[in-house]
Chain A
C-alpha cells in the first residue's frame, strides 16, 4: 500500500522526504494531510479549560486540521504542529471551554 507520508512519528516535528524515489506514485496520503504542518500559520492559540469541558468532542469533529486529539483521560488536547489557530473549536465548543489567546513567540 502506497501512502504519502506515513504516520507522524512520536516527537517528530516534520516528516521530510529527501529523494523523489521516496515519494509514492500518486499524491495520496494516509488518513489526512499529515505532512502539511499548518502549525506555523498560527497567531492565536486555543487554550482549553478542562474544568468546563464535557467531553462532547465537537471541537474534534469541527477542527479542519488533524489538530485536536483525545487524551488518555478523555479530555482533549491540541497538536501544535497542526493547529493553525483558526478558532473554529472555540467557536463551536458548547461550554466555552476553549478560548483563543494571542500566542507569544
Chain B
C-alpha cells in the first residue's frame, strides 16, 4: 500500500493537523518509507492469534457506581486559553 498526496491530505484532516499543499509530497515520501518498513509484519503467521489488548494479565476492576470527585469547575477550566464562568469557550459553531 502506498500513500498518495490525496490520502495524506485526508489523513491530516482526520488528525486535525493543517498541512500546507507544498509539504504533502515530502510527507507522503516519509510516511511511505515508514509504512514500507512496517510491511514486513506480513511475514508473521498470525492465524488463530488473539490480538493483545492488555499486556497485564489482570481482570479489570469494578467500582461502586458513585460520584467520588468533582465540584471544581473553576479549577478544571483554569488552564483553558479561553473560558469564563466555569465554561470552555470556542469559536461560534452554529450560525
Genuine A/B complex? no
Interface residues of B (CB under 8 A from A): none
Residues of chain A touching chain B, judged by Cβ–Cβ distance below 8 Å, are none
